Amino acid sequence: MGLTARPDRQLVTVAPQSQEGWVATRLDFLVNWGRANSLWPMPFGTACCAIEFMATAASKYDLARFGMERMSFSPRQADVLICAGRVPFKLAPVIRRIWQQMLQPKWCISMGACASSGGMFDNYAVVQGIDTIIPVDVYVPGCPPRPEGLIYGIMMLQEKVKRERMSDERLRDEMEPDPTSKLYIPASAIDELSEPFGNSVHQTRSGL
Amino acid sequence: MNPSAERIREKFPTAFVRAEVIWAETTVYLHPESVGDVVRYLHDDEAERYDYLSDVTAVEYRDLELPLQVVWHLRSLPFRRFLRLKAEIPRGAPLSVPSVYPIYKGADWLERECYDMFGIEFVGHPDLRRILMWEQYAEGYPLRKDFPLRGRFSRSEQLRQALAAEPESRYSMTELTIADAFEDLPLEMRQRLAGGEKTGE
């Protein structure tokens, strides 16, 4: 009623027993507020980070405060993919398939050093960061991150969700790497950038 | 020293190389081709009764002559004995040892893992495929000393090959079914399954 007609001075009072209770806001704000406070996580736990994730979901840290207590073990009913732990190459097509099965709007949190960058596992079996497979919204550092760290990452994701605009037409675009794009980096250039470093200088790809 | 070592030396003088004791654990070195016979004896003989195979694995040393050792860990539950068998494979010789799968069914995945990581062929294994790496993995055998830590292909090529395959091709649904193993189950379990038993849920 408040949205259709100008409220009558006499009708709207400050007396609690006769509150009319109307609110006017941007639709963006309302939708984002609703989304940000009931993100349903899809837990993708592969290693020790998953233990910290369980601790975060349990009673002491209580993920329910953020509307995330409902773990969705079906990707089709999930909003945010939380990748907790290292991803070996054998799992790479699996996590990409899960991401493709999730419906828009969807977000992704990369939890811990291994999911974000491969971490200490700079070897033949482990994907060097899940952002080489799927887009990531928030990276949580740590090995593994404490529950407070994950909660901080979740709150950052909530901030990001609250700033989304529906008028942004490209917001939900899903892009495959496009070789004609100016932002495209060819595989050879990626190899050049990721040459051995640190204590791996004696490792060559030819093996000799 | 485990008394089985002495008996192996007497019964299989051509197979026996040497025996040693380290930290109260006996290791018997054998010629690779005769491992099957010795394990068969250790399993079947009434005085030995090694009825439990703990592990099958391999080690590569920086040894110029005998770089690779294949290792079997046997345990005798009735006599509470532990015996380690080793077969040294000389450089240049074919990487092949007899499979102990006909004696211990549990050797199935252990030998597949050893094949996957070292490329050792277990002669007589019914289904020698890769088990940890996917079956199309083309970079070699990761636990060999000459295998570079980051693999042989570039990161982008590794990722391209990993993503090129469908997940279903790596995780065989037929392997997960118990229908094939139905005849091997105990009678009591077969009856329960055939009766369509409800679980407690």
In this complex, which of B142, B151, B163 lies closest to A92 when CB atoms are compared?
B163
Residue A23 has pLDDT above 60, yes or no: yes
In a domain, residue B153? The reply is no
The CATH number given to whatever domain includes residue B8 is 3.30.460.80
Could you tell me if the ipTM is greater than 0.85? no
Query: What is the domain extent for residue A88?
Result: 22-167
**Residues B158 and B138: beta-carbon distance below 8 Å:** no
Q: What is the mean pLDDT of residues B54-61?
A: 92
Compare all CA atoms of chain B with the CA of A93 and give the residue at the minimum distance: B163
Domain-embedded: residue B137:
no
Provide the domain limits for residue B42.
Answer: 3-132
Q: Is residue B36 part of a domain?
A: yes
Whichever domain contains A42, its CATH number is: 3.40.50.12280
Q: How many domains does chain A have?
A: 1
Which residues of chain A are within 8 Å of residue B144 when distances are taken between CB atoms? none
Domain assignment present for residue A14? The answer is no
**B145 assigned to some structural domain:** no
* Whole-number Å distance between alpha carbons of A184 and B2: 65
| pLDDT number for residue A168 | 79
What is residue A199's predicted lDDT score, i.e. its pLDDT? 40
* DSSP E strand stretches across chain B: 16-22, 25-30, 52-60, 68-76, 81-89, 96-98, 121-123
CA distance linking residue A136 with residue A82, whole number of Å? 10
Q: What is this structure's pTM?
A: 0.74
Give the β-pairing of B52-60 and B68-76.
antiparallel
- pLDDT mean across residues, chain B: 84
- The pLDDT value recorded for residue A206 is 38
- Contact yes or no for B151 and A123 at CB 8 A: yes
Q: Is B73 among the domain residues?
A: yes
As a whole number of angstroms, the distance between CA B17 and CA B175 comes to 40
**Higher per-residue confidence, A202 vs B109:** B109
- For residue B178, pLDDT beyond 70: no
pLDDT over 60 (residue B200): no
Counted domains in chain B: 1
Alpha carbon of B163: minimum distance to chain A alpha carbons (Å): 5
Q: Where is average pLDDT lowest: A69-78, B4-13, B31-40, B168-177?
A: B168-177
d(CA A57, CA A53): 6
Secondary element (H or E) of residue B159: helix B155-164
Name the band, by pLDDT with cuts 50, 70 and 90, for residue B52.
very high
Pairing of strands A107-111, A80-84: parallel
A7 within domain boundaries: no
In-domain check, residue B193: no
- Residue pair B144/B119 in contact (Cβ under 8 Å)? The answer is yes
Residue B85 has pLDDT above 90, yes or no: yes
